[in-house]
Amino acid sequence: MEEVAIVGVGQSTFTRKCGVSVRELCFQAYKEAMEGLDITKDDIDASIVCSAPEYDKQRTPSGLISEYLELTPKPTFYVESVCSSSSTGLRVAWSLIKSGLHKVVAVIGFQKMSELTSREAAERMGRGGDIIWESPFGITMPAGYAMYARAHMAKYDTTEEQMAMVRVKNSSYGARNPKANYRKELSIDDVMNSDVITSPLKMFDCCANCDGSSSIIVARGDVAKRVSKIPIWVIGVGAATDTMTMSGRKSVTGLECSQEAARQAYEMAGVKPEDIDVAEVHDCFTISEILAYEDLGFAKPGEGARLIEEKQTYADGKIPVNVDGGLLSKGHPIGATGGSQIRTIVRQLRGEATEAQVKGAEIGLVHNVGGVGQYGNVTILRR
Amino acid sequence: MEEVAIVGVGQSTFTRKCGVSVRELCFQAYKEAMEGLDITKDDIDASIVCSAPEYDKQRTPSGLISEYLELTPKPTFYVESVCSSSSTGLRVAWSLIKSGLHKVVAVIGFQKMSELTSREAAERMGRGGDIIWESPFGITMPAGYAMYARAHMAKYDTTEEQMAMVRVKNSSYGARNPKANYRKELSIDDVMNSDVITSPLKMFDCCANCDGSSSIIVARGDVAKRVSKIPIWVIGVGAATDTMTMSGRKSVTGLECSQEAARQAYEMAGVKPEDIDVAEVHDCFTISEILAYEDLGFAKPGEGARLIEEKQTYADGKIPVNVDGGLLSKGHPIGATGGSQIRTIVRQLRGEATEAQVKGAEIGLVHNVGGVGQYGNVTILRR
């Protein structure tokens, strides 16, 4: 069976207020993804549009975006797993190609959150939890991750300073990323002294809502070799869930959906954590990156904080993580985030990440989580 | 490569107000789909949840439903193409299996519309059109199809009485369907004298919002043969789009998305329109069924109305269509509708449709449209 590769990646600038319509926002990422490829829109067999609904007024946006990108009458549909929607989109695109149904599929992720006030956005996000038993009682996104942070601190003596170190690292890379929303370098003191959001998480421990889009062009192996200079092969697509309810979780010191998705992806790709040259992990909060180190096998349980303390996840460390600034610096336009992470790894494996290139990177990993650990996606890519 | 089959189908009763939570509503269909199968929940590798968002308060329902059906930690995600969401879900499930990623996938479609007033529901539906250029100016669902009706009347002399005949047929079958919302038999006069909604469409020319769920269990061929008595093979999965904007359409006397999806499905299945023994078509309005006759090749362009006038689409006619009552009688719980149509064809091909069995049916077709002809899905099934 033919293999599957990513041939194009694109991303809009992530910003608090993009000032354009959803269709134009998506075009910005799609345009970059198609640049330099030896294909036209007529070669695209299908598109998958990924976002979380209810943040902008347009319903069923896939049809609209498909029309705007002039892909009509090719099939299009919408895929959602909240914050991991575009990683789910890539996994579905992989299947559509591998099954023989299509040769080239465009995955478009987006979110336009600036149509809502912060209060409205927080209310929408809360309803991503169980609306009968949990979200009405305060289990919002920050509250959920704050519980994980407290549990990790209690069990493993992880400190708030160690969490702050994650933001310091990511802000240093975000400062060099022209598409990131937050480009200011932050110090430990900046993070520690920022306003408390949900203790122990402070403002700079949290990523922020924003507008943005991403695009991935996925192709069957033979086509990929023909149309792109350096196809990046999709060698592992793991996906898992955990309970929607926090009360149903077996553990609150790690995300089981990440652990299970990673297990599947490593097995499918035939690689181990130590084979990964560069990774993007879902740092929606600083604690989330520390959990990811452990859940993905970069550190043993309880030893994630030491990895950042020893600076092993900087670009010249043992396992470089989020050297594009992560969600913390880039911002988190829900449906676009996975595609942005994938773009970073593709650029790293192509050797194009001039802002912070990891030397000789050949195998990369993308870890993308939906909700408070409800959906886990791990994708492994190879040059 | 292994073939793919449907092994289980289920549907809740379609009703104006189900009185249960979304998760429980989905369980009703899932329970029926799993009955009699030689598998348990542990054999299900993934689930796909299909609906149109914004009708009920719960966001990202796939995680919640997956947990309630005890499918955690298996992957789950959400797929949407408005009214054709669960047909899209089946097509994605087909790919997930055909690609080798999974062996058994559950497709769950649902809609709970009773949380909204009719006015709120109509506003949500309107925003399924282009919210900048069209829906604010009155292009709602009935208005869009009314334009198609007027154009068909002008070009082909189709009459309002002929449209009413579609409702008369479907109501006669709906009366025998215990899961249909509207079970009253209607006469031509009943339809002709009902209140005008958007001329020429009157109340009984239109399907109605309701609550409901559907479920399809899809399996790899070898598994399907082992776990079910009569696997129903998925031999064609066509999908296409047309422009979101009505103003972008080349024709308003037929749905190009249906024509293109049908072409793909017939080619993939290696069958012709005359090989179809029984069909479910997307009769959201009476005119829609007449358009479908033509778009699917059951009648030549302009000759659809004659097919119903000659009663050729009754159960004992040349090509029986919607002999379960169709959307017009069953009601149209958006995300559940495609799965309900598929359930009807599976039951027909198994010979279990005691209410209105088409004798010796071996090949069936499901036609499911999203929006006003924005998304077209045609699925061909074989015993």
Distance CA(B343)–CA(B347), nearest Å, equals 6
Chain A contacts of B79, Cβ < 8 Å? 77-80
ipTM of predicted assembly, 2 dp: 0.98
Identify all chain A residues contacting B246, using CB atoms and an 8 Å cutoff: none
Task: Judge: A101–B241 Cβ closer than 8 Å, yes or no.
Answer: no
Note the pLDDT tens digit of each residue in B154-167: 999 999 999 999 99
Contact A241 B72 (CB under 8 A): yes
Query: How near does any CA of chain A get to the CA of B354, in Å?
Result: 35
Q: Where are the beta strands (DSSP E) in B112-267?
A: 196-198, 201-202, 212-220, 232-241
CA distance linking residue B338 with residue B326, whole number of Å:
11
Do residue B73 and residue A257 have CB atoms under 8 angstroms apart? yes
Q: What pLDDT is stored for residue B2 in this prediction? A: 85
Contact A59 B54 (CB under 8 A): yes
* DSSP3 helix / strand / coil % (chain A, rounded to 5): 40, 20, 40
**Single-letter residue type at B188:** I
Query: What does the pLDDT look like over A22-42, one tens digit per residue?
Result: 999 999 999 999 999 999 999
In the numeric block, which tokens belong to residue A252?
């609150």
What's the rounded Cα separation, in Å, for the pair A37 and B53?
A: 35
pLDDT score of A122 more than 90: no
Q: For chain B, list residues with pLDDT below 70.
A: 1
Give the per-residue pLDDT at B1: 66
Q: Do A243 and B72 touch (CB under 8 A)?
A: yes
B70 in A contact zone (CB under 8 Å): no
Looking at residue B106, its amino acid is A
pLDDT (mean) for A159-163: 98
Token pair for A372: 């408070």
CB B369 within 8 A of CB B356: no
Cross-chain Cβ contact B60/A80 below 8 Å:
yes
How distant, in Å, are the alpha carbons of A24, A77, B11, B86, B152 from that of B79? 23, 7, 18, 8, 33
Nearest CA in chain A to B243: A67
Yes or no, beta carbons of B60 and A79 under 8 Å apart? no
Residues of A annotated as part of the active site: 83, 332
Establish if A101 touches chain B: CB-CB under 8 angstroms. Answer: yes
Taking the CA of residue B318 and the nearest CA in chain A, the distance in Å comes to: 31
- Which A residues in the span 133-162 are in contact with B, Cβ-Cβ below 8 Å? none
Q: Spell out which residues of chain B touch residue A60, defining contact as CB-CB under 8 Å.
A: 52, 80-82, 128, 370-371, 374
Report the chain B residue with the minimal C-alpha distance to residue A265: B101
Q: Are the beta carbons of B58 and A239 separated by less than 8 Å?
A: no
Question: Is B254 within 8 Å of B294 (Cβ atoms)?
Answer: yes
For residue A104, give the nearest of A71, A60, A61 by alpha carbon: A71
Contact A29, A213 (CB under 8 A): yes
Mean pLDDT of A122-149: 92
Let me know: does B374 contact B88? Beta carbons within 8 Å.
no
Is B95's Cβ below 8 Å from some Cβ in A?
Answer: yes
Give burial (CB, 10 Å; 0-12/13-18/19+) of A80: buried
Chain A residues 255-274 with a CB less than 8 Å from chain B? 256-257, 260-261
**Domain residue extents for chain B:** 4-116+210-233, 137-205+235-382
Residue of B79, B124, B240 lying closest to A59 (CB–CB):
B124
pLDDT tens readout for residues A181-232: 999 999 999 999 999 999 999 999 999 999 999 999 999 999 999 999 999 9
pLDDT at B16: 95
- Across the interface, which of A58, A59, A73 has its CB nearest the CB of B256? A73
Q: Which of A60, A86, A251, A378 to substitute to test the interface with B, most B CBs within 10 Å?
A: A60
**A286-302, pLDDT tens digit by residue?**
999 999 999 999 999 99
Distance from CA of B77 to the nearest CA of A (A): 5
Whole-number percent of chain A with pLDDT over 90? 96
| Residue of A59, A73, A260 with shortest CB distance to B127 | A59
Using an 8 Å Cβ cutoff, are B342 and B306 in contact? Answer: no
Assess whether B210 carries a catalytic annotation. no
The answer on pLDDT for A1 being more than 80 is no
Intrachain domains A4-116+210-233 and A138-207+235-382 with the same fold: yes
Q: Which CATH class is domain B4-116+210-233?
A: alpha beta
Q: Which residues of A touch B128 (CB under 8 A)?
A: 59-60
- The predicted structure's pLDDT at residue B56: 92
Q: At the top level of CATH, which class does the domain B137-205+235-382 belong to? A: alpha beta
Question: Which member of A57, A101, A257 has the closest CB to residue B131?
Answer: A57
**Residue A242 near chain B (CB below 8 Å):** yes
- A46 has a pLDDT exceeding 90: yes
Per the annotation, the verdict on B367 as an active-site residue is no
Which residues from chain B sit within 8 angstroms of residue A52, using beta carbons?
Answer: 59-60
Q: A244 at the B interface (CB within 8 A)? A: yes
Q: CB-based contacts of A274: which residues, under 8 Å, 6+ apart?
A: none
The per-residue pLDDT for range B95-147, each reduced to its tens digit, is: 999 999 999 999 999 999 999 998 898 888 889 999 999 999 988 899 999 99
Check CB contact of B94 with chain A, cutoff 8 Å: yes
pLDDT band at A2 (very low <50, low <70, confident <90, very high): confident
Superfamily (CATH H level) for A138-207+235-382:
Thiolase/Chalcone synthase (3.40.47.10)
Cβ pair A67:B240 closer than 8 A: no
Among B102, B152, B282, B332, the one annotated catalytic:
B332
Inspect the interface and report whether the beta carbons of A79 and B79 lie closer than 8 Å. Answer: yes
